[in-house]
Amino acid sequence: MATREFVVGGQDLDRALEEVLLKIRETEKNRRELSSLLSCLKDKPLPQEFSSKVLEQRFTTVVRKLQKIEAKVAAVDSGFLGEELHALDLMMIRGVAVIFHYNGGTKLEGVEYYPNPLPSARLVCSTEPMDSFEFEALTSIERLLTELRLAIETAEKYQPDLLLLDGSLLPRYLDPSALDGEVASRLHLLLQAYRQLYSLCTDSGVMLAGVVKDCRSSHFLGILRQLLPSLGVTLPPEKEEFLEHLKDTVLLDCLLSVGERTFSFRCSEEFPIYAFYIKTVPEDRPLRVEFLNTPSQQINPSKTEGSAGTADRVAEVIYAISAHHPSFAVPAPLVEADLCAHLFREELELVHETLLNRMGFSTILDTRRERRPF
């Protein structure tokens, strides 16, 4: 059973914590045993019948460690805050792009910021009647719209060799059929922005990748379970059940060595978007990297063009710029973008308090839980 309940409180707290620790140790033991059973897969070619789902015909690839990087790497990120009020909802969003210049070494030669190192935040006000789910969806949409529009402008203005987004290249967890009104219309604009970015990067030769820092997907392990019979690997029943309840990175953290990546697997039927997992440092989990699979000769022109060429080039650059600290695997440009885009809660509170001061007493703003007199 993957989910367990514990009573927490009073004298039961210590017992509950011990049970949680036991569960963690059990998971750690099982994942290491499972990793040992599956380590033989690294040297095995993948079955031909899976060629439509994957780019490479091998389970893992050793990523070349670049000693020199001659590239312009851009990263886009945003910070956001949201507050549900009684008659309206507020969102504050700040987006920024950083452009790192590497000129023949692994050290940074220069950095640019777009539109500037500390851009003004955008305040979004909505009076559309929405429940909490719709508000969360709208907040996510507005944040992604900010990032995508900024990514499009950055690609046009700076022509980077590699453009990194914070998160997936696909609008996950947003179901158009479950949304209507203003939220649905904003989602339509978001989908248009994704298509515009894909088209721009394809036409201009800009390599586009999304780095998912804390991935919770189990899609790769789903493919792995399909592969095992074809590879002649049979797991004990208890290990098969354990594998069904794992996230990708929980197993791959043990299975991959530093400098290795998995095969690239397709994650969209509509667009040529693939993903792989790469372990760049010894004391952190593998990163999930999604990329638009289009030919590019801007980095590593000696590499032959072909189905896995873009994956190799993206992996090599990601590896080179994500290995600066043994316990933190995020690419340096994304770290800088995140720091510049960060919003503090006090910034939205200041907006809220200013509205109250200028408007005077009104029941139209605060919710009851914020106005309790006791």
How many CA atoms lie within 13 Å of 97's alpha carbon, on the beta-carbon side?
Answer: 25
Q: Which of 44, 36, 66 is nearest to 259 (CA)?
A: 66
Residue 224's pLDDT is 95
Residue 217's pLDDT is 94
Residue 6's pLDDT is 58
Residue 304's pLDDT is 32
Residue 307's pLDDT is 42
Alpha carbon distance 134, 174 (integer Å)? 10
Residue 303's pLDDT is 35
The amino acid present at 34, given as its one-letter code, is L
Residue 86's pLDDT is 73
Instruction: Name the one residue in this structure whose structure tokens are 């978007």.
Output: 273
CA dihedral 323, 326, 331, 332 (to 10 degrees): -90
Q: Residue-wise pLDDT tens for the chain (374 aa)?
A: 466 665 655 567 788 888 889 989 999 999 999 999 999 999 889 998 888 889 998 999 999 988 888 899 999 999 999 887 777 888 899 999 999 999 876 678 899 999 999 999 999 888 777 778 888 888 899 999 999 999 999 999 999 999 999 999 998 767 776 677 888 888 899 999 999 999 999 999 999 999 999 999 999 999 999 999 998 899 999 999 999 999 999 999 999 999 999 999 999 999 999 999 999 999 999 999 999 998 654 454 443 333 458 999 999 999 999 988 999 999 999 999 999 999 998 988 888 788 777 876 665 566 655 656 55
Residue 158's pLDDT is 97
Domains of the chain: 60-346 (3.30.2170)
Alpha carbon distance 166, 288 (integer Å)? 11
Q: Which H or E element spans position 152?
A: helix 132-158
Residue 295's pLDDT is 66
Asked if the peptide bond before residue 115 counts as cis, ω within 30 degrees of 0, the response is: yes
